[in-house]
Structure 1
Amino acid sequence: MSETSLMSVNRYRMKHLASKGRRGAKQVLALLAKTDRLLATVLLGNNLVNAALSTVITAFAIYSFGNNDEVLALATAVSATLLIIFGEIIPKVIGANRPEAVAMGSSFWLTPLVTLLSPLVWAINLLVSGLLGLFRLTSKQGSQAGLTTEDLRAAVLESTAFIPSQHRSILLNLIDLEDLTVDDVMIPRGRIEALNLEDSDAAILEQMSTSFHNKLPVFRGDPSQIEGVLYVRKAIGMLAHDGFRKEALIESLQPPYYIPSGTSLFTQMTFFQQNPSRLAMVVDEYGEVLGLVTLQDIVEEMMGELSTEGPSPHGKRLEWDEDRTVTVDGVSLVRDLNRRLGLSLPIDGPRTINGLILEALQDIPESNLSLKINGVALEILQVQGRVIRRVLIHRPASLHDDNSELVG
């Protein structure tokens, strides 16, 4: 019972209880720190008890019924039955079902027993180590490998009984955060709302007054050459007081913050926490702007889509039509579509639906071509040059009707 419970007990739970001052948990951790001594003591004790029980039963049978082969056979059968049922099966089932309680309870008598039998255990372990050395094996101490990401993921997935599904989803997203990069959540360059200084004053004023975003990248003619970031609300307040002057607008720009493609989301999240900037331009190795990432994009990756008064920064709001389809742009991010539409398109390859289809076809397709990827039917509606512009997604039959609400 004791060895089963001690070997199956959750060590992280024991560490938590020990930090709360539970003496039993501290003793369990001390015992598990040297598993070779612990197991040797438990097995030695078990064998001594088993041998003593068999001896007592055999002696009682001989004393009561005489010394003959039938009596010895019966005594052996009774001893084996009792040991299997009461010495092996029942204790091990109890230890496996209640490892925490049994482990902490048994630690109070195992701790002094390990100390008492330590000379004998040391001699036995020395002999065992010598025998293992013949096979080039070593006896490991009670160190336990740290909890891996997959262990943590499995624990969250198996916690359906006491963690709500929404909370599990958030925990899984947090676990994945270290493996994701800004490329997975950024707004592609073609969808960035930016302000062009070469536009007329009236056009600039109208864009500022109608924009749903508080921060806008600003360029002059070439969208890839960002001159700064405009804080729209602050600029509107300034212009309302002093009147519109393009020079004053330029002076109010904040320097753009560039990050390389492939930056970890966790790293970027840490930067946003430690700095006032909440917007960064993603560039490739040649300095070309690939997209834009904000603090909101990272938060949505962890928490799910956030409700806003304006349209989603990743494009129009998505919902399944009555005919169970939805039309998306070719530059739509695969991860974004999976999250907002409940799909299961592969995310370990191309990041956009355009790239995903091109990889699957290994060719530049024509319009009105249909294909299926991971059980999701896709229909190409528009191709321009070498780029797929619009795609019709058919809702998989595996999605339940209760997932058909507006997302985004």
Structure 2
Amino acid sequence: MDDASIGTLTIILVVLIFCSAFFSSSETGMMSLNRYRLRHLVKSGHRSARKANSLLERPDRLIGLILIGNNFVNILASAIATVIAVRLWGDAGIAIATAGLTLVILIFAEVSPKTMAALHPEKIAFPASYILQPMLKIAYPLVWIINGITNGFLRLFGVNVNDAGNEHLSTEELRTIVHEAGSLLPHRNQSMLLGVLELNEVTVNDIMIPRNEVEGIDLDLEMDEILQLLSKTRHTRLPVYRGDINNIVGILHMRNLAQLIQQGKVTKPAIMQVVHEAYFVPESTPLQTQLLNFQKHSRRIAVVVDEYGDIEGVVTLEDILEEIVGELSNEKDDTNQDIHPQEDGSYFIDGSAYVREINKALKWQLPTDGPKTLNGLITEILESIPDANVCLEVNGYRMETLQICDNLVKTVRASKTAKARETL
């Protein structure tokens, strides 16, 4: 073999190494594509994305084509390198060719192109799809035969290649994506999206106004007292009951009351005439379901009942929307009323404050799978109502009762311990 022949074979060997690099990078690039971004680009009419998506619809065929091409060029490159090495160094050339070609392929045809493709999959996969697609058509009979054999072998292990592409994101995965969006999503939008995702995990019992805080009209009161209450209320819809909230007779819309005032007919019978039937919902209803039910029944306020039919409180459409977008009104700020920061870094918290609201306001991690209020949480842990002030630790947070009366923990001093700081 003359020098010209060796030169020609060397050029062929270099071309084969480049081909091997192409197949290696194409495989990694195609498999590293973000499928959700790819589908978005396809819907946007991106031509390269359409070709790549078409190839990925049957990944078994794509992988079969790439591996056929990659193995063919690698084996051919090995044979040519051996011929050249034997010609130059004799029998020792076999070992030299094996060691040298292995190193060259690893660096220039495997590790480097695959690393590049993993870092920039679209830049590699999209141009490669223009080459791979016609190659698949040309080599389809060979690919079909090899895939038929391999797919049959995979079925022995219960693997069905037709299940490819049926990818669905769970709520937790969606939440992670939103969290990791970073600057791509404004913080406000992230909070709203997370609020929507959490709607199905929160029930109306978690956000309702408890019955002892419900503002309503007691028809057993004198008319002057009722009018005074109506003149001071900030709500547009009020429950109407007799004597006790459990004896609810309906919901009064202030718009209807305004009509009565214009007519000069504000009496108890007149109020009863414009009262709407109350809408009752179970306390365990998820917020997502309740939001849809509000829309379905054209309601904005519901009376929450427990499993025995006793009234627990009320929930409004505004309460649910605030779980998504945050506080809708500045007229009241329940968190500021319930939580009072102190100079030493602790907080005075009302026992009636909701645990979820405390966690939101202070970025804490108090348990929310049990009692809804701080009073309930403390009494559940103590398994009794304390006769005197006590101090306890809950999930790494120090709780000291400051005021106990009427069988309720009224005020608590709370602060983070070192353990809680480490977990944040």
For the residues of structure 2 that align with 1:4 and 1:393, how far apart are their CA atoms? Answer: 57
- Which AA in structure 2 matches 1:396? K
Shift of residue 80, structure 1, vs aligned partner: 0.9
Shift of residue 209, structure 1, vs aligned partner: 0.7
1:338 paired to 2:395:
no
For the residues of structure 2 that align with 1:306 and 1:185, how far apart are their CA atoms? Answer: 15
Question: Which has the higher mean CA deviation after the structures are superposed, 16-25 or 359-368?
Answer: 359-368
Given the alignment, which residue of 391, 406, 412 partners 1:392? 412
Given the alignment, which residue of 206, 216, 238 partners 2:260? 238
Given the alignment, which residue of 217, 221, 229 partners 1:199? 221
1:204 partner SS: helix
Q: 1:192 to 1:96 in 2, by over 3 A?
A: same
1:316 partner SS: helix
Q: 1:211 to 1:317 in 2, by over 3 A?
A: farther
- Which AA in structure 2 matches 1:367? A
1:214-242: CA deviation from partner (whole Å, max 9, x where unpaired)? 21111111221111112235414532441
Given the alignment, which residue of 84, 87, 99 partners 1:77? 99
- Which AA in structure 2 matches 1:2? S
1:255 paired to 2:263:
no
1:19-38: CA deviation from partner (whole Å, max 9, x where unpaired)? 11112212222222211111
- Which AA in structure 2 matches 1:223? I
Alignment of 1:16-35 (within 5 A): 16-35=40-59
Alignment of 1:3-402 (within 5 A): 3-63=27-87, 65-69=88-92, 71-132=93-154, 136-141=157-162, 142-310=164-332, 312=334, 316=337, 318-384=339-405, 387-396=407-416
Shift of residue 337, structure 1, vs aligned partner: 2.0
Q: 1:114 to 1:366 in 2, by over 3 A?
A: farther
- Which AA in structure 1 matches 2:411? V
Shift of residue 323, structure 1, vs aligned partner: 4.5
Q: 1:139 to 1:243 in 2, by over 3 A?
A: closer
2:73 partner SS: helix
For the residues of structure 2 that align with 1:320 and 1:56, how far apart are their CA atoms? Answer: 78
Contact 1:319 1:326 (C-alpha < 8 Å) held by counterparts: yes
How many residues align? The count is 395
Q: 1:235 to 1:340 in 2, by over 3 A?
A: farther
**Between structures 1 and 2, the one with greater helix share:** 2
Between the two structures, name the one with larger relative contact order (CA 8 Å, sep ≥ 6): 1
For the residues of structure 2 that align with 1:342 and 1:131, how far apart are their CA atoms? Answer: 53
1:85-123: CA deviation from partner (whole Å, max 9, x where unpaired)? 111111111111111232222111111222222221222
- Which AA in structure 2 matches 1:375? G
Contact 1:212 1:310 (C-alpha < 8 Å) held by counterparts: no
Question: Which has the higher mean CA deviation after the structures are superposed, 172-181 or 155-164?
Answer: 155-164
Q: 1:237 to 1:130 in 2, by over 3 A?
A: closer
Contact 2:402 2:413 (C-alpha < 8 Å) held by counterparts: no
1:247-299: CA deviation from partner (whole Å, max 9, x where unpaired)? 21221211111111211211111233344421101111221101111111111
For the residues of structure 2 that align with 1:122 and 1:191, how far apart are their CA atoms? Answer: 71
RMSD over equivalenced CA pairs, Å: 2.4
Q: 1:209 to 1:310 in 2, by over 3 A?
A: farther
Contact 1:366 1:380 (C-alpha < 8 Å) held by counterparts: no
Identity within the alignment, %: 37
- Which AA in structure 1 matches 2:410? R
Shift of residue 315, structure 1, vs aligned partner: 9.1
Q: 1:328 to 1:208 in 2, by over 3 A?
A: farther
2:205 partner SS: helix
Contact 2:351 2:412 (C-alpha < 8 Å) held by counterparts: no
TM-score using structure 2 length: 0.86
2:341 partner SS: coil
1:52 partner SS: helix
- Which AA in structure 2 matches 1:332? A
Contact 2:209 2:314 (C-alpha < 8 Å) held by counterparts: yes
Shift of residue 317, structure 1, vs aligned partner: 5.5
Q: 1:228 to 1:137 in 2, by over 3 A?
A: closer
- Which AA in structure 1 matches 2:141? P
Contact 1:380 1:388 (C-alpha < 8 Å) held by counterparts: no
For the residues of structure 1 that align with 2:401 and 2:338, how far apart are their CA atoms? Answer: 20
2:182 partner SS: coil
For the residues of structure 2 that align with 1:195 and 1:311, how far apart are their CA atoms? Answer: 23
Q: 1:133 to 1:258 in 2, by over 3 A?
A: closer
Contact 1:192 1:292 (C-alpha < 8 Å) held by counterparts: yes
- Which AA in structure 2 matches 1:54? S
- Which AA in structure 2 matches 1:46? N
Shift of residue 320, structure 1, vs aligned partner: 1.8
For the residues of structure 2 that align with 1:231 and 1:316, how far apart are their CA atoms? Answer: 27
1:291 partner SS: strand
- Which AA in structure 2 matches 1:185? I
Question: Which has the higher mean CA deviation after the structures are superposed, 74-83 or 121-130?
Answer: 121-130
The answer for the alignment partner of 2:12 in structure 1 is: none
For the residues of structure 2 that align with 1:318 and 1:28, how far apart are their CA atoms? Answer: 55
